Amino acid sequence: MAKARLGRFDDLVRLSNEPLIPVVERLRAVVLEIHPDACEVVRLGDRAATYGCGPRKMIDGYAYIMPFKSWVNLGFYRGTSLTDPEKLLEGTGARMRHVKMRTVEDVERPGVRGLIREACAERRAALGLSRAER
């Protein structure tokens, strides 16, 4: 298997369309506000930054930021298991779901932080992390 091309968050920002850069940066700030110790792994081949309790995307990761041409996805690896009272989640995959963000105001919608908190808590519990590690 080929080794993933890793980078820094600034590299992902440079790959983003100019109007979406504030959205990408605000999403990252919100994720890190909720989980300051999140492990951030930027995979340039995926054009995404993964956030989790460790570096393994599908095992440790709970969310990702992925810029597209006209929007930015805030994705959740186990999105089908999340409660979504605001009905923000989209997607048809077996487990993954995402929320499309086109503006900074979209990032601030009710429910976005709740999805991130719930996804993070689920991963911590699934990995058996103690309260001190959370």
pLDDT (tens digit, 9 = 90+) per residue, 38-72? 999 999 999 999 999 999 898 999 999 999 999 99
**Is residue 104 in some structural domain?**
yes
**Is residue 1 in some structural domain?**
no
**Is residue 124 in some structural domain?**
yes
C-alpha 29/C-alpha 25 separation (Å) is 6
- Other Cβ atoms closer than 10 A to 19: 10
Residue 130 confidence (pLDDT): 58
**Is residue 68 in some structural domain?**
yes
pLDDT (tens digit, 9 = 90+) per residue, 103-112? 999 999 989 9
**Is residue 37 in some structural domain?**
yes
- Its domain, for residue 102, covers 6-133
CATH of the domain at 53: 3.90.1150
Q: What is the pTM of this model?
A: 0.92
**Total domains, the chain:** 1
